[in-house]
Amino acid sequence: MKHQEKIDFERVAEALGYIRENFRKQPDLNEVAEKVHMSPFHFQRLFTKWAGVSPKKFLQYISLEHAKMLLKDDAASLFKAAHKTGLSGTGRLHDLFVNIEGMTPAEYRDGGKNLSINYSFATSPFGDILIASTQKGICFLAFVENERHELAGLQDGFPQATFTKKFDAIQENALRIFTDDWRKLDQIKLHLKATDFQLKVWEALLKIPMGKVSTYGKVAQGIGHPAAGRAVGTAIGRNPIAFLIPCHRVIRSSGVFGDYHWGGTRKIAMIGWESARTEK
């Protein structure tokens, strides 16, 4: 039987898909509920349970105008801000507790030779995930539509590594990022196979606060390569760590959310979900 969290997200995602296509018309509760074959009462209750806010409020968070408002913030300054530590309630910038370590040149060159990688399948507010770790940190996290396909993708990235299906303490700690209670959350460490440029881009993404967005151009400026917008986009598209490295927070300069490796509806859900939590 499917986990209830996954079932809830699938229902909400169906509603978000409709809202995504029709947000300019600002569809009301009855219209959206009808499209997902639920009564307004049950849809309102399900959506509020998942998102923490009403469908109407969530619609505001994912509208084009809201995205443009977020972009009015001086996003460039986000890349200059020093990382803070400590907690500040449910709006804490949890990304500041994520640390990236690149693999050694030998590990990179040899496809993970001598690496032992644990992996497991788990659930999140945005659907099922595949998460994997080395002894140094998380090396892979992807949303799963087909378990065999995603596992093959993980193994292709580390063709010389040894894989064990095991849920370990590193994975357990990282998954606490999806909850509102971070009191038990230790710093999340990532152990990534990447070029220096990719690591620089991914580190820049960690400086975009939860509930905010930036653009490809501003990320390029933030890493000191203002003309490298296309290369930045490529690096973002190759991000192997969903959500923890928040590539979903990068949108087009027009305010349009744009594509996402794990689905455009999921990207919208994440941005709205985070906005709702930072404004509580």
User: Kindly report the CA angle at 103 between 196 and 259, in degrees rounded to 5?
Assistant: 60
Residue whose token pair is 């490529």:
234
Sort strands 162-165 and 138-143 into parallel, antiparallel or unpaired: unpaired
Q: Of 192, 194, 176, give the one whose Cα is nearest residue 117.
A: 192
Position 77 scores a pLDDT of: 44
Contact 92, 182 (CB under 8 A): yes
Position 56 scores a pLDDT of: 85
Contact 276, 52 (CB under 8 A): yes
Position 180 scores a pLDDT of: 62
Kindly state the tokens that stand for 3.
Answer: 């986990």
Give the active site residues. 247
Kindly state the tokens that stand for 154.
Answer: 């993980």
Reading the chain (280 residues) residue by residue, the pLDDT tens digits are 356 777 888 889 999 888 878 877 778 899 999 999 999 999 999 999 898 888 888 887 777 666 777 676 544 444 343 333 333 333 344 444 688 888 888 888 888 888 999 999 999 999 999 999 999 999 999 999 899 999 999 999 999 999 999 999 999 999 988 876 666 677 889 999 999 999 999 999 988 888 888 899 999 999 999 999 899 999 999 999 999 999 999 988 887 788 899 999 999 899 888 888 777 5
Average per-residue pLDDT for the chain: 84
Instruction: Summarize pLDDT for 189-246 with one digit per residue, the tens.
Output: 999 999 999 999 999 998 888 888 889 999 999 999 999 989 999 999 999 999 999 9
Instruction: Say whether 76 sits in a helix, a strand or coil.
Output: helix
Position 94 scores a pLDDT of: 42
Residue 236 CA to residue 179 CA, distance in Å, equals 25
Position 280 scores a pLDDT of: 57
> What phi, psi does 115 have (nearest 5°)?
-85, 140
Question: CA 37, 40, 44, 47: dihedral to nearest 10 degrees?
Answer: 10
Beta strand residue intervals within 4-97, DSSP E: none
Q: What is the DSSP string of 91-141?
A: T--GGGGEEEEEPPHHHHHTTSTT-EEEEEEEEETTEEEEEEE-SSSEEEE
Contact 240, 156 (CB under 8 A): no
Position 2 scores a pLDDT of: 55
Query: Domains in the chain and their CATH numbers?
Result: 4-61 (1.10.10.60), 71-278 (1.10.10.10)
Contact 216, 233 (CB under 8 A): yes
Position 60 scores a pLDDT of: 79
User: Kindly report the CA angle at 34 between 30 and 38, in degrees rounded to 5?
Assistant: 100
Residue whose token pair is 């229902």:
11
Residue 277 CA to residue 266 CA, distance in Å, equals 17
Q: How many helices (H) and strands (E) does the chain have?
A: 13, 8
Residue 221 CA to residue 225 CA, distance in Å, equals 5
Cβ neighbors of 186 (< 8 A, separation 6 or more) are 97, 173
